[in-house]
Structure 1
C-alpha cells in the first residue's frame, strides 16, 4: 500500500529528480509540502495535483 505522506527522498524518487533539487523546490515553495520537526513531508495527492497543474501550464509556456 502506498503511503499518503512522502518524505523528501520518496518525493524525489516519485518526481525522478535529485533529493537536493526536491529540497530546493520545497524550500522555495515551488512544490507543495510541509515540515514536521524540521523534516519535509509531502501529501501524495498534493504532489499529483501539482503535477497536473504544472503540466497544464507547461502547455502555455510555464516553467517550474
Structure 2
C-alpha cells in the first residue's frame, strides 16, 4: 500500500497546504490529478516529481503579498 490513491485532503496534508491551494494548483499549474467521478485522486510519486520540477513554485509574489 506504498503508493495508494490519495484524496484532496490527504494530498493537502502531505504537502502542508490547504485544500483550496490544491484545487488552484490543479486548474492553474497542471498539478497531476485524476478525476474519478466527482473526486480528485493523486499518486504521491507523480506529485513528488511535479513538485521537484517546480510545479508548486510560486511564480509571482503577488500571490503572497497584497497588491
TM-score for both structures, normalised by structure 2:
0.69
Out of 31, 54, 59, the position equivalent to 1:63 is 59
Q: Which has the larger radius of gyration?
A: 2
Q: CA deviation at 1:27?
A: 2.9
Q: CA deviation at 1:2?
A: 4.4
Where does structure 1 differ by over 6 angstroms across 4 or more consecutive aligned residues? none
How many residue pairs end up in the alignment? Answer: 59
What's the CA shift string for 1:2-54, capped at 9, x where partnerless?
A: 44211000111111111111112113353110100110001111001111111
Where structure 2 has 5 or more consecutive residues not aligned to the other structure, the ranges are 61-67
TM-score for both structures, normalised by structure 1:
0.72
Where structure 1 has 5 or more consecutive residues not aligned to the other structure, the ranges are none
Match of 1:4 in 2: 4
Distance in 1, Cα, partners of 2:59 & 2:21: 15
Which structure dedicates a bigger proportion of its chain to strand? Answer: 1
Compute the RMSD of aligned alpha carbons.
2.4
